[in-house]
Amino acid sequence: MSDVIQLLPDHVANQIAAGEVVQRPASVVKELLENAIDAQADSIKLLIKDSGKTLIQVIDNGIGMSATDARLSFERHATSKIRKAADLFHIQTKGFRGEALASIAAIAQVELKTKQENTAFGTKITIEGSKVMSQEPIGSPKGTSIAVKNLFYNVPARRNFLKSDKVEIRHIIDELQRVALAHPAISFFMYHNENEVYHLPQSNLKKRIVGIFGKKMNEKLVPILEETDLVNIEGFIAKPEFAKKKRGEQFFFVNHRFIKSPYLNHAVKTAFEGLITHAHHPTYFLFLEVPAESIDINIHPTKTEIKFTNEQELYAIIRATVKHSLGQYNVAPVLDFNRDPNMDTPYSYKDKQPDKEPEVKVDRNFNPFQHKKTASWEALYTEAKDQKTHIEPIHSDTENSTQDLFQDTSTTAKSITQQLQHKYIVSTIKSGMVFIHQNRAHQRILYEEFLTKMTLGEPSTQQLLFPMQLQFDKTDIQLLLELKDDLESSGFQFGAISKESVTLTGVPTAIDEQKVMGVLENIIAIDKEDLPDANFSPVDFIAKTLAKSMAVRVGQPLSATEQEDLVNTLFNCKEPQLSPFGLPCFTTITSNEIDQRL
Ligand code: ADP
Ligand code: MG
């Protein structure tokens, strides 16, 4: 048989390589931004159209390329950044594989314009699917502009695989944030569909963080600084009271390169131990400077994971440094190893850092359940019980059929209702007792109320005497704008919305003003995840989030009327048996069961 092995043509090889390098528009953004930084630019513009699906353009004022280099830059393994294998162990630049431009040009229409400083003309090259379409001299300013149009135009399968515009732009913004944080001395501009997203002038790290995440960051940040033989650490952490329920703002940079490291993240988290709950994530921006030979950045194709030679030592140093800063800036008790730790007051009492959500302020005259009175909830309870499938049937024998369950309610003593451990409401019924979980039951009630109001478009709003101005970062504002209609239908009323803040003139009735920010943050948090867009219903999600944050907590004492109203209203619900998150709201113990025990 004849030989069958052939070398793949370049454009095919490039397309295969592109599969690894370019997962989505944000990958292109990352590569182009990194090239601009490697070219020593101090001003970089990023122009995006349609979340990068139509256009991704990066314009820099760096060193530019000669005509020959410009042409060569699109060849695979063409790089100016390493020459020999040994160079791999002390890489100072972002790129070194020489794959990015070749890959991008294989799956898009690319226009490159570039000019070096002391030359009369620059070069313009257009290239499509790895084929050079034109090359000509042009007049242009010093630096490089690369426009990547119609990404995946020749790979429809990949193009169809892209997520919604909202998700893709989020990834792009994430990339820009990482690069901009790592390089505060470079100015960045970002436009999306001609709207300015970021205008970040040259500055220092603190101002850069504030420039990206909004002015509210200013008061939150505590500096970190530590120099050891192994590593220099610099950056900021946010005070524990600003820890978030979502994982958003956690940044590690190693030698100015953003990395993900669950291991080192754990080091920071343990430094916050006792100051924040397990459900919270500390915010941090930490820059590690290590000798280039002590890391291997080569293990992951998109290079956000790296391998350290001294991982365990790093862990210990990071943890100690963060702890130290928390102590030094008086946000945590200073460590004193000579003292008996048992003598210490637990952090949560000693310092004012709450380790759980502040309790709902109880307005003694306000009864959250009183609006729906029912004469006999027991009748409704019977209905509810009959509807459900998953709760144990109360009676299996016929002599106690549900019909006669409550037959003599009118003549017998009124059922007794009692709160147990500030958690359950226990009520006697003819057949025994029902235990109602107060928090879940209230969630169910509020959830159905919100859903009804939102779908009927009849929000009940409580006007604020003093409008609240809440600070958000720009991407959060974008998400709020998208959800604005749904939020309004749940009772929120918006005043002015600027790039960094939102003014609220009204909030859903009965929502605690102090909780508004937390509620909105929770709503935004979900939207940031890569959810399959199709199944996501903002209305349902907002109703759930509101219900969850407004429901009475476990631990809250309820008056007799509140208890009764909660029970009444619960059994008036469409689906009283389950909380909006699918947990049972109540259970029963029948007198039969009690009989069996006695
Ligand atoms: P790598 O960055 O790994 O070297 P790339 O494919 O990203 O590979 O780029 C190939 C080469 O093109 C780079 O090594 C660099 O010499 C040149 N180049 C790319 N972008 C720019 C730019 N914005 N300014 C100047 N030179 C650039
Ligand atoms: Mg590169």
Looking only at the bridges linking them, the beta strands covering 284-289 and 250-254 are: parallel
Per-residue model confidence (pLDDT) at position 117 = 95
Nearest ligand, CA 77: 1
Domain boundaries, the chain: 10-202, 207-328, 417-588
Q: How far is the CA of 304 from the centre of ligand 2 (A)?
A: 14
Q: How far is the CA of 324 from the centre of ligand 2 (A)?
A: 38
pLDDT higher than 80, residue 251: yes
Q: If phi over 0 gives left and psi between -120 and 50 gives alpha, with beta otherwise, what is residue 150? A: left
Q: Is 210 in the pocket of ligand 1 (CB under 6 A)?
A: no
Fold of 417-588: Ribosomal Protein S8; Chain: A, domain 1 (3.30.1370)
Mean pLDDT of 512-534: 68
Per-residue model confidence (pLDDT) at position 18 = 72
Question: How would you class 355 by CB atoms within 10 Å of its CB: exposed for 0-12, middle for 13-18, buried for 19 or more?
Answer: middle
Q: How far is the CA of 327 from the centre of ligand 1 (A)?
A: 45
What is 10-202's CATH number, 3.30.200.20, 1.10.4100.10, 3.30.565.10, 3.40.190.10? 3.30.565.10
Mapping DSSP to helix (H, G, I), strand (E, B) and coil, where does residue 262 land?
A: helix
State the helix-helix crossing angle for 538-550 and 516-528, rounded to 10 degrees: 140
Per-residue model confidence (pLDDT) at position 382 = 60
Q: Is 116 in the pocket of ligand 1 (CB under 6 A)?
A: no
As a CATH number, domain 207-328 is 3.30.230.10
Residue 251's DSSP bridge partners are 285
Question: How would you class 427 by CB atoms within 10 Å of its CB: exposed for 0-12, middle for 13-18, buried for 19 or more?
Answer: buried
pLDDT higher than 80, residue 305: no
Sign of CA dihedral 523, 525, 527, 530: negative
Virtual torsion, Cα 491, 496, 498, 500, nearest 10 deg = -50
Mean pLDDT of 190-205: 94
Q: Answer with the residue of higher pLDDT: 334 or 365.
A: 365
Structure tokens at 163: 């997520």
pLDDT digits (tens, 9 = 90+) for 384-424: 555 443 333 333 333 333 333 333 343 345 678 899 999 99
Q: Answer with the residue of higher pLDDT: 299 or 553.
A: 553
Would the pTM of this model clear 0.85, i.e. be above it?
Answer: no
Q: Whose CA is nearest to atom 13 of ligand 1?
A: 79
pLDDT higher than 90, residue 172: yes
Is residue 106 within 8 Å of residue 8, measured between CB atoms?
no
Pocket-testing residue among 74, 93, 101, ligand 1, by greatest number of atoms within 8 A of Cβ: 101
Q: How far is the CA of 98 from the centre of ligand 2 (A)?
A: 6
SS (H, E, C) 342-377: HHCCCHHHHCCCCCCCCCCCCCCCCCCCCCCCCCCH
Q: Is 122 in the pocket of ligand 1 (CB under 6 A)?
A: no
pLDDT digits (tens, 9 = 90+) for 471-500: 888 878 888 888 888 888 888 999 998 888
Q: Whose CA is nearest to atom 17 of ligand 1?
A: 73
Mean pLDDT of 414-438: 88
**Which one of 1-10, 52-61, 256-265, 552-561 scores highest in mean pLDDT?**
52-61
Nearest ligand, CA 57: 1
Q: Is 107 in the pocket of ligand 1 (CB under 6 A)?
A: no
Mapping DSSP to helix (H, G, I), strand (E, B) and coil, where does residue 109 land?
A: strand
pLDDT higher than 90, residue 531: no
Q: What are phi and psi of 365, to 5 degrees?
A: -90, -5
Q: Any idea what the Cα angle at residue 533 is, between residues 530 and 535, rounded to 5°? A: 120
**Which amino acid is present at 167?**
V
Pocket-testing residue among 38, 82, 303, ligand 1, by greatest number of atoms within 8 A of Cβ: 38
Is residue 568 within 8 Å of residue 369, measured between CB atoms?
yes
State the helix-helix crossing angle for 377-387 and 560-570, rounded to 10 degrees: 40
Give the full edge-to-edge strand order of the sheet including 257-259. Answer: 221-227, 232-238, 284-289, 250-254, 257-259
Pocket-testing residue among 37, 76, 79, ligand 1, by greatest number of atoms within 8 A of Cβ: 79
Q: How far is the CA of 119 from the centre of ligand 2 (A)?
A: 24
Residue 419's DSSP bridge partners are 425
Atom number of ligand 1 nearest to Cα 103: 6
DSSP codes, 39-108: TT-SEEEEEEEGGGTSEEEEEE-S----HHHHHHTTSTT--SS--SGGGGGG--SS--SS-HHHHHHHSS
Confidence band for 265, pLDDT divided at 50, 70 and 90: very high
Per-residue model confidence (pLDDT) at position 369 = 55
Looking only at the bridges linking them, the beta strands covering 195-200 and 122-128 are: unpaired
pLDDT higher than 90, residue 110: yes
Q: Answer with the residue of higher pLDDT: 239 or 542.
A: 239
Atom number of ligand 1 nearest to Cα 97: 3
Q: Answer with the residue of higher pLDDT: 297 or 52.
A: 52
d(CA 514, CA 294): 48
